[in-house]
Structure 1
Amino acid sequence: MKKIQLIITPVFLLFFALGFSQENFSSECSEILEKEGNRVVFGCDAGAKISLEFLDAKNIKFWYAPNGKFERNNESFAVIDEKFDPGFSINVDESNAAFEIFTGDLRVVVEKAPFNVKIFDKYQRLVMGDFAEEAYTTEGTGVTAKKILRKDEQFFGLGEKTGPLNRRGNSYTMWNSDKPCYSDVEDPLYKSIPFFLSTYNFGIFFDNTYKTQFDFGESSEEHFSFSAPDGPFIYYFLYGKNHKEVIGSYTKLTGQPIMPPNWALGFSQSRGMLTNEKLTRQIAREYREREIPNDIIYQDIGWVDGLQSFDWREDRYDDPEKMLTDLAEDGFKVIISQDPVVSQSTEGQWKEADGKGYFALDERTGKSYDMPWPWGGNAGVVDFTKPEVADWWGELQQKPLDDGVKGFWTDMGEPAWSNEEDTDRLHIKHHKGMHNEIHNVYGLEWDRVVTEQFEKRNPNQRVFQMTRAAYAGMQRYTFGWSGDSGNGSDVTAGWENLANQIPVGLSAGLGLIPFWATDISGYCGDIEDYGEFSELYVRWLQFGIFNPLSRAHHEGNNAVEPWLFGEEAEKISKAAIELKYQLHPYLYTYSREAYDTGLPIMRPLFLEYPTDEKTYEIDEQFMFGEEFLVAPVVEEGITFTQIYLPKGEWIDYNDPQQKFSGEQFIDYDTPLDRIPLFVKAGAIIPKMPVMPYIGAMDNAPMILEIFPSNKASEFTIYEDDGTTNGYKNDEFSKTKIEAVPGASAISVKINTPETSGYETEERNFWLEVHLEEEPGKIQLNGKELSSKALSELKENWNSDFNEEGHSFDKENNILYLKFPDTKKEQLIEIEK
Structure 2
Amino acid sequence: MQDLVYLRAMRLYAIRNRNEEGNASSMDNPHILLPIANRSYLRIDPLSHGTFRIRTSHTADIKEPPLVRYGIIHPTLSTTYTMEQNDTSIMIHTDHSSLRVDKDSGKLALFNRRGDLLTCHAENVQNPASIPGFEVHFLLSGDEMMYGLGDETREHIQHRGHAADMKVDAVSRHAPVPFLMSSKGWGLLVNTTWRHRIDIAHTFADRLFISGQDGDLDYFLFVGDDYAELLDCYTEVAGRPLMMPIWAYGLTFACHSYTNAREMIDDALNFRRDGIPCDVIGLERGWMEEDNDGKIPFPFRWDQNRFRVSSSSNYTAPFIDTLHNHGFKMSLWLNCSYDVSLEDEHSFYAQIRQFVEVGVSSFKMVVPESSFQHPTGIWGNQMSDTEIRNLFPLLLSKQMHQGFQKQTGRRSMNYIAVGYAGLQQYAATWAGNSQGESTLISVLNHGLTGHTNTTSDMDVSSPEGIHFGFLQAWSLVNSSGFWCHPSILKNDLLLTFRHYAKLRYSLIPYIYSAAHTAARTGMPIVRAMPLIFPEDPLSNQLLNQYMFGDSFLVAAFTKQVYLPNGEWIDYWTGEKHAGLKWLTPAVPFPAGGPLYVRAGVIIPTWTAGECIEEKQKEIIGLHFYPHGESNYTLLEDDGTTYSYLQQEIAETKIRCLANSTSLRAEIGLRTGRYDGMPSRRIYDVQFHLEARPFKVTVNGFSLTETSDIDKASFSNRDYWFFDRTAWTARLFVEEGAINPTSISIEIIYDLTDRRFMNQPETGNRTIAATAIVKLHHPLVKKIVDLMEAQDGHHWSLQDAAERLHVNASHLGRVFKKEMGVSFPQYILKKRMEHAKKLLQGGNSVSETTYTLGFKDISHFIRVFRKYYGVTPGEIKN
TM bin, normalised by shorter chain, reads: 0.7 to 0.9
Percent identical residues: 23
- Corresponding letter in the other structure for 2:442: V
Q: Note if contact 1:805-1:819 (Cα within 8 Å) is conserved in structure 2.
A: no
* Contact in 2 for aligned 1:310/1:400 (Cα 8 Å): no
* 1:812 equivalent in structure 2: 726
Tell me what 1:668 maps to.
Answer: 585
Q: Is the partner of 1:755 in helix, strand or coil?
A: coil
In the alignment, is residue 731 of structure 1 matched against residue 648 of structure 2? Answer: yes
Q: Give, in whole Å, the separation in 1 of the partners of 2:342 and 2:252.
A: 34
Higher relative contact order (CA 8 A, sep 6+): 1
Q: Is the 8 A contact 2:65 2:191 kept in 1?
A: no
Q: TM-score, normalised by structure 1?
A: 0.81
Instruction: Tell me if the contact between 1:137 and 1:143 (Cα under 8 Å) persists in the aligned partners.
Output: no
Cα distance in 1, alignment partners of residues 98 and 672 from structure 2: 43
Pairing of 1:435-584 with structure 2 (within 5 A)? 435-459=385-409, 461-486=410-435, 498-521=436-459, 534-535=461-462, 538-556=463-481, 558-584=482-508
Asked if 1:388 is matched to 2:381, the reply is no
Q: In 1, Cα distance between the equivalents of 2:516 and 2:276?
A: 27
CA drift at 1:446: 1.2
**1:240 Cα offset (Å):** 0.8
- 2:369 is matched with which residue? 416
The structural deviation recorded for 1:261 is 0.8
Per-residue deviation, 1:144: 1.4
- The answer as to 2:689 corresponding to 1:768 is no
1:657-705 CA-to-partner distances (Å, cap 9, x unmatched) read: x111112222322466332111111111001112111129984621111
Contact (CA 8 Å) 2:397, 2:426: kept in 1 or not? Answer: yes
Q: Which residue of 2 aligns with 1:344?
A: none
Q: Which residue identity does 2:48 align to in structure 1? A: D
1:247 aligns with 2:172: no
String of CA shifts for 1:43-90, please: whole Å, max 9, x gaps: 22331121122113321111011455523464444654334344x143
Question: Superposition pairs for residues 209-288 of structure 1, below 5 Å?
Answer: 209-273=193-257, 275-288=259-272
| Range that drifts further, 301-310 or 472-481 | 301-310
SS at match of 1:626: coil
**Structure 2 unmatched runs, 5+:** 1-9, 18-26, 290-295, 310-315, 750-877
Q: 1:698 to 1:130 in 2, by over 3 A?
A: closer
1:726-770: per-residue Cα shift (whole Å, max 9, x none)? 111111211111112257531111111112234235453111111
Which is further off, 687-696 or 111-120?
Answer: 111-120
- Does 2:325 match 1:329? yes
1:148 aligned partner, one-letter code: L
Alpha-carbon spacing, 1:559–1:831, altered in 2? closer, same or farther (3 Å):
same
Give the aligned residue type for 1:506.
Answer: L
Alignment of 1:171-210 (within 5 A): 171-179=163-171, 187=172, 189-210=173-194
Amino acid paired to 1:534:
S
Distance 1:128 1:73 in 2: 25
Partner of 2:93: 102
2:336 pairs, out of 336, 340, 347, with 340
SS of equivalent residue, structure 2 residue 48: coil
**Count of aligned pairs:** 710
| CA distance 1:393–1:804, shift in 2 (3 Å) | farther
Shift of residue 30, structure 1, vs aligned partner: 12
1:194 touches 1:472 (CA, 8 Å); kept in 2? yes
Partners of 1:387 and 1:786 in 2: CA distance = 67
Shift of 1:263: 0.7
CA–CA distance in structure 2, aligned partners of residues 51 and 204 of structure 1: 16
Query: 1:438-460, CA deviations, whole angstroms, 9 ceiling, x for partnerless residues?
Result: 1111111111111211111112x
Cα deviation, residue 555, structure 1: 4.4
For 1:770 and 1:214, the matched residues in 2 are separated by 48
Change (3 A) 1:411 1:70: same
Name the SS of the counterpart of 1:754 in structure 2.
coil
Query: Which residue is equivalent to 2:789?
Result: none
Whole-angstrom CA distance in 2 between matches of 1:133 and 1:395: 47
- Residues 421-441 of structure 1: per-residue CA shift (max 9 Å, x gap): x8x879233315222221111
**Corresponding position of 2:77:** 84
Is contact 2:124–2:136 with CA below 8 Å preserved after alignment? no
- Alignment partners' CA distance in 2, 1:226 and 1:757: 47
**Matched residue of 1:775: which SS?**
strand
- 8 A contact 1:802–1:819 mirrored in 2: no
CA separation of 1:114/1:443 partners in 2, compared to 1, >3 Å: closer, same or farther?
closer
- Any idea what SS the aligned residue of 1:600 has? coil
Contact kept, 8 Å, 1:425 with 1:435, in 2: the verdict is no
- Determine which of 141, 144, 149 is the counterpart of 1:153: 144
Amino acid at match of 2:120: G
1:525 counterpart residue number? none
Aligned to 1:407: 362
For residues 551 and 438 of structure 2, the distance between their equivalents in structure 1, rounded to whole angstroms, comes to 23
Q: Distance in 1 between matches of 2:711 and 2:416?
A: 45
Report Cα offsets for 1:488-537 as digits up to 9, x if no partner. xxxxxxxxxx112112101112223211110112xxxxxxxxxxx833xx
Residue 773 and residue 453 in structure 1: after superposition, are their counterparts in 2 closer, same or farther (change >3 A)?
Answer: same
Q: Distance in 2 between matches of 1:682 and 1:301?
A: 47
What is the aligned-residue RMSD (CA, Å)? 2.6
Superposition deviation, residue 104 in structure 1: 3.8
Which is further off, 130-139 or 258-267? Answer: 130-139
Structure 2 CA distance, aligned partners of 1:403 and 1:762?
35
In 1, Cα distance between equivalents of 2:341 and 2:610: 41
For structure 1, the residue ranges without an aligned partner over 5 or more in a row are 1-28, 180-186, 342-381, 487-497, 522-532, 635-640
Q: Quick one: which amino acid aligns to residue 547 of structure 1?
A: Q
Matches of 1:814 and 1:137, distance apart in 2: 70
Q: State TM-score, norm by structure 2.
A: 0.77
1:652 maps to 2:573: no
Which residue, out of 635, 638, 641, partners 1:718?
A: 635
Q: Flag the 1:280–1:67 CA change in 2: closer, same or farther, 3 A.
A: same
Amino acid at match of 2:370: W
Q: Considering only CA atoms, is the larger Rg found in Structure 1 or Structure 2?
A: 2
Match of 1:318, SS state, is: coil
1:38 is displaced (CA, Å) by 4.2
Q: Corresponding residue for 1:12?
A: none
8 Å CA contact 2:81–2:93 kept in 1: the answer is: no
Tell me, in whole angstroms, the C-alpha distance in 2 between the residues paired with 1:689 and 1:608: 29
Q: Distance in 2 between matches of 1:613 and 1:93?
A: 40
Task: Give the CA deviation at 1:564.
Answer: 2.6
Contact 2:122–2:137, Cα closer than 8 Å, also in 1? yes
Separation (CA, whole Å) in 1 of partners of 2:588 and 2:213: 51
Q: Which amino acid aligns with 2:323?
A: L
The reply on whether 1:642 has 2:560 as its aligned counterpart is: yes
- Secondary structure of 2:267's match? helix
AA at the equivalent of 2:299? S
Is it true that 1:40 corresponds to 2:32 in the alignment?
yes
